Amino acid sequence: MENKVQKVEISHKTIIFTFFFLLFMLFLYSILDVILQFFVSLIIMASFNPIVTRLGRYRIPRAVAVIFVYLIFFLILGIAVYALIPALIEQTTSFVANLPIYLDNLGIPTVVREKVLSEFLVQIGGLPSQIAKTTISIFSNVLGVITVLIFAFYLLIYRNKFDDILTNFLSDEKRREVRRVIDRLETQLGGWARGELLLMFLIGVLTYTGLLLLGIPFALPLAILAGMFEIIPIIGPAISALPAIIIGFGISPVTGIAMASLAFLIQQVENYVFVPKIMQRSVGVNPIVTLLALTIGFKLSGIVGVLISVPVVITAQVLVKEFLTSKA
């Protein structure tokens, strides 16, 4: 029997298409920073637009409303940084210095204690500097921050004119489809961003209040840690509560049990009160998908990847749903 060799012919169109596709992907990779900045600007626009729109109902010019929202945002941010950073640095440094004493009180072996100190305390001790480095790494430099804010500013100003802009490029049917996708993305992304920030704030405040009532030291860094880990579903609250529980048991068994009970109570309030009310307008993202997205985001881009991983999943989810709906 003779083996027949089947020839595979590739047309010139396929070669040309592949070449330009690869060229386009290379171009996207080369402007990845710009795409990231624009995506963050979209999240800011989606978060602020409901407030700007509400101010517009009082016949306030949209540009004035956007400037007002920006000023309020930076005022709150400045007050928070001025009030929290000095105390955060002081308490974090004291926390790192005193945690070995609490571990000794628990009777933890020296080998295990040194391992904990080397793996855990180094990260916690560098929390203030890590926050600053993360903020810088998100946008690379001050120019990047300004670029994001300018993008978001103009997106907010021209948000209500998207229809007019799309009319110049798309047919009526396509314009309605694009407008529907934009509206849904704004609702879902904006709802998630506002809801997540509010959840982080509430969990931080509840944790801080509970720590003060229980008399557990280093309340501020422990509360900020609880708020930050709120973005990680299921395991985030448990990880953030662990240092406070260790300190509680280092003080006394009663304090340790009280701290564990407080962490459990806060998580129940979050799951059954805060999340259903705050995140009701946001798209539902499966916790397993969220964990996977956070892991992949951290692997690809570190802290920056973590911060944008869930919004990317939400965007992809909305686009896929819209695509399947239009095809059905």
Closest to 92 in 3D by CA, of 138, 132, 53, 123: 123
Give the length of the chain. Answer: 328
Does residue 48 contact residue 31 with C-beta atoms inside 8 Å? no
Q: For position 130, what pLDDT does the model report?
A: 53
**Helix, coil or strand: residue 169:** coil
C-alpha 138/C-alpha 33 separation (Å) is: 9
Neighbours of 199 (CB within 10 A): 18
DSSP 106: T
Closest to 317 in 3D by CA, of 190, 188, 192, 178: 188
Q: For position 209, what pLDDT does the model report?
A: 93
* Residue ranges, the chain, pLDDT below 70: 1-13, 99, 103, 106-142, 163-170, 172, 279-285, 301-304, 324-328
Task: Tell me the helix, strand and coil percentages in the chain, rounded to 5.
Answer: 85, 0, 15
DSSP 252: -
Q: For position 80, what pLDDT does the model report?
A: 81
The structure's pTM equals: 0.70
Read off the tokens for 217.
Answer: 């030291």
Q: Is the dihedral of CA 216, 220, 224, 230 positive or negative?
A: positive
Q: For position 231, what pLDDT does the model report?
A: 78
Q: For position 139, what pLDDT does the model report?
A: 45
Q: pLDDT tens digit string along 74-128?
A: 898 888 878 777 777 777 777 777 767 776 776 666 666 666 666 655 555 555 5
Q: For position 212, what pLDDT does the model report?
A: 92
C-alpha 137/C-alpha 306 separation (Å) is: 12
Does residue 170 contact residue 178 with C-beta atoms inside 8 Å? yes
Read off the tokens for 99.
Answer: 């945690």
Packed helices 32-56 and 142-157: angle between N→C axes, nearest 10 degrees: 40
